[in-house]
Structure 1
Amino acid sequence: FFFHSCVSHRFIAKPCALGLKVQANGPQKAQPNAILEKVFTAITKHPDEKRLEGLSKQLDWDVRSIQRWFRQRRNQEKPSTLTKFCESMWRFTFYLYIFTYGVRFLKKTPWLWNTRQCWNGYPYQPLMPDLHYYYIVELSFYWSLMFSQFIDIKRKDFGIMFTHHIVTITLITFSYVTNLTRVGTLTLCLHDAADVVLE
């Protein structure tokens, strides 16, 4: 999945984004200034009033210009709309595919229409090949999301998403190992439906 995601970014998502006129340029860059850069990287990205006034005297700039420089410098580290689009398109495409697969699979099962069927014969319920595929693909995808977080653009919700992926992987694995796969497929399909909308 990770390799597929990289190929998808470069050869599918980026051309689609450019075709849809998604802007490739990032935020406006701050003008080079060694003193402000040193403060930004070594001391603080959000200077207080006292520090702003000190920098103003040192550089002979007004406080508003220094605030603007720090804002532009912070924004400079944010990903462009194109980068966000490419990452989001890969996840959206997967969620749409797996949700569609889940619905097509579940339409043929008795437990979609009568949830009591989830427990008939438990724990000795046969593992159908389509169900096995559904679980393996979902589990693989969430593992790839967890690892790709470390090389994708760092986000504010990194910790929350990392925890979410760990919990999701744990729940998928637990339901597979304990053969709670029937109720698990219903949960996975609902989870994917929400993710399609969120992406």
Structure 2
Amino acid sequence: MGDSHPSSPSPADGNTAVGSAKTAARPQLRNGSSSTSTMNGPLYMQTSGSNVVLVRKLKRKEEGTWRQLARWFVENQIGLSFNLIALIFLANAFIPKARTVTHKFYNLCYYNPETGRYAVGFDDAYFITFCIIAFTGLRAWTMEYILAPIAKLQGITKRKELTRFSEQAWLMVYYFAFWPLGVYIYCHSPHYMNLRGLWTSWPDREVDVLMKGYILGQWAFWLQQILVIHIEERRKDHTQMLIHHFITCSLLYACYGYHHTRVGNLILIIMDVVDLFLPLAKCLKYAGYTNLCDYVFGLFMVSWLAARHVIYVMVCWSIYAHTPEIMPTGCFKGSNNNLVGPVEPPPGLSYLFEPFYDPNGHVCYNETVKWAFLTPLILLQFITIFWFTMVIRVAIKVLRGDGAEDSRSDDEACGDEEEEEYIYEEAEPLEEEVGVEALDLKNWERRHGVRIQSSSTGVSLPGHSDRKELLGRIGCEKQVE
């Protein structure tokens, strides 16, 4: 596209051309001046009849305010989390008046020294907030400094696959920590392998330290997951995942406020056992262990069917059939040491929300409460059935020999890397014009491996007689990003 000049220009000519480029009008680019990620086309271009040099640059997609804010948060979440946690501890150490608040962030509240157990209340929000901040920073740090390097060692180089591997590996780390803890709590409970035992001794308005930390930690994790799916790249099943996360958080809130932590613990370990295998299978797929991925995917399918469509349905049936037989109908009021009831529920439906803002207020059981729990649990079952149909499609692909590849959420965005688009922009010359005496020719010679031969008429570059090439090397090179 550029004009060629047969004579070798002198540095003085180059200075004149650079000065001309500064005052030249910005050219209008014709259609087809961009190139795809194959990067076809020259790095520099020159419009016809002009000395203006154009440089190829990556075209940046326009982003809205929310997307820019989300990208900024993703890029700085480690520092933000660390600074917030440091601020809490520093305020607690050096501001005595703040300790009445700051200690609630990293200590469980409502301890009863007489029983050695914990009640529930609004101040638990401090600990949940602390866990959300900690999960955010720990997740980002682990993905960037531990999991991504492991992925690279396995030969994963594409940016999206590195991100997906790190995300799935983080979930695997989380579930391998919390699922054994949940199983330990369940196996050491009086209702172990006894669905009817889930409903005895209600309402017990206090829990032990392990159960309280476990429930609040899980609750914080799922709240943090709602944040994650909004700040990171949207997947195909975004709506289903959002509904799932909201239902999970609501059920955790309800079982904690209504003192049903026993059934909450059981449902969590039922759901979490599946997530031990799915992230592992995905990581194996990204690392190229296709056969091992297929075997793990088989274990995932078996665990999903048994846990989420057999045992889970049994728990739902227990809520429907056993709770009317075992739990007293009516309302209770007061602390564990001074519990009054059962009494008739207050008029209206406001009593249903009382456990969420008054730990010693009315907590009730009746048909309305039963169906308030059962309805979201049944909706959650429909979502898992929808997902399981997709899992079956993957299983059919495995039986055909195509390999396991989850169609629910991991190929959700675009599948392959998005093609990068390149455009040509005017390369602004250096602001400061320099004379021939200011050119560091020796340094340029060392950087480019080209020997410059001086003559009485100027500088000649063997094999580089094009005027625009000299402009690119001397005047525009420092402008390339």
TM-score by length of structure 2 reads: 0.29
How much does 1:157 deviate? 0.8
Match status 1:169 vs 2:249: yes
Which of 143, 148, 154 is equivalent to 1:20? 154
Is the partner of 2:234 in helix, strand or coil? coil
Per-residue CA shift, 1:73-108, capped at 9, x if unaligned? xxxxxxx21110011111111012110111122221
Partners of 1:108 and 1:19 lie apart in 2 by: 41
- Report the RMSD for the aligned CA atoms in angstroms: 1.3
Partners of 2:260 and 2:158 lie apart in 1 by: 48
Per-residue CA shift, 1:159-187, capped at 9, x if unaligned? 11111100100011101100011111101
Partners of 1:12 and 1:129 lie apart in 2 by: 31
How much does 1:198 deviate? 2.5
The one-letter code of the counterpart of 1:101 is L
Note the 1:44-123 alignment, pairs <5 A. Answer: 80-123=160-203
Is the partner of 1:156 in helix, strand or coil? coil
Which of 238, 256, 260 is equivalent to 1:158? 238
Gapped regions of structure 2 (runs ≥ 5): 1-134, 280-481
Per-residue CA shift, 1:45-67, capped at 9, x if unaligned? xxxxxxxxxxxxxxxxxxxxxxx
Aligned residues: 145
How much does 1:195 deviate? 2.0
Match status 1:3 vs 2:137: yes
Is the partner of 2:273 in helix, strand or coil? helix
Is the partner of 2:157 in helix, strand or coil? coil
How much does 1:15 deviate? 1.4
Partners of 2:267 and 2:163 lie apart in 1 by: 31
Partners of 2:174 and 2:204 lie apart in 1 by: 31
Structure with the higher helix share, 1 or 2: 1
Q: Which runs of 4+ in 1 moved over 4 A?
A: none
Determine the structure 2 residue equivalent to 1:40.
Answer: none
Determine the structure 1 residue equivalent to 2:214.
Answer: 134
Gapped regions of structure 1 (runs ≥ 5): 27-79
Determine the structure 1 residue equivalent to 2:62.
Answer: none
Per-residue CA shift, 1:127-165, capped at 9, x if unaligned? 111110110110010011110111222111111111110
Determine the structure 2 residue equivalent to 1:55.
Answer: none
How much does 1:19 deviate? 2.1
TM-score by length of structure 1 reads: 0.69
Q: Is the 8 A contact 1:112 1:186 kept in 2?
A: no
How much does 1:114 deviate? 2.1
- Determine what percentage of the aligned residue pairs are the same residue: 26
